[in-house]
Amino acid sequence: MCKALEEYAQECIENGYSKGLTNKAYEIAQNMLSEGLQHDLISRLTGLSEEAVLKLSQQ
């Protein structure tokens, strides 16, 4: 495979991995919300912003 294709493939893998981690953080945050944990605690433990947690709680 040419160098450009190898770099593109690696970038796609990294982006997919990052997206998967973010999706998992949202899933964990949703579970924490359902258990009644506070937004600031969820934010600290998941790495999501407090704004993101607040939006998630309003869904």
pLDDT in tens, the chain (59 residues): 587 777 767 777 767 766 777 889 999 999 999 999 999 999 999 999 999 999 999 98
Q: What is the pLDDT of residue 48?
A: 92
The answer to whether 47 touches 25, Cβ cutoff 8 Å, is yes
> Could you tell me the two tokens for 30?
């949703």
Q: What is the pLDDT of residue 28?
A: 94
CA of 47: how far to CAs of 9, 12, 23, in Å?
A: 27, 23, 12
Closest CA to 52 of 20, 19, 30, 21: 30
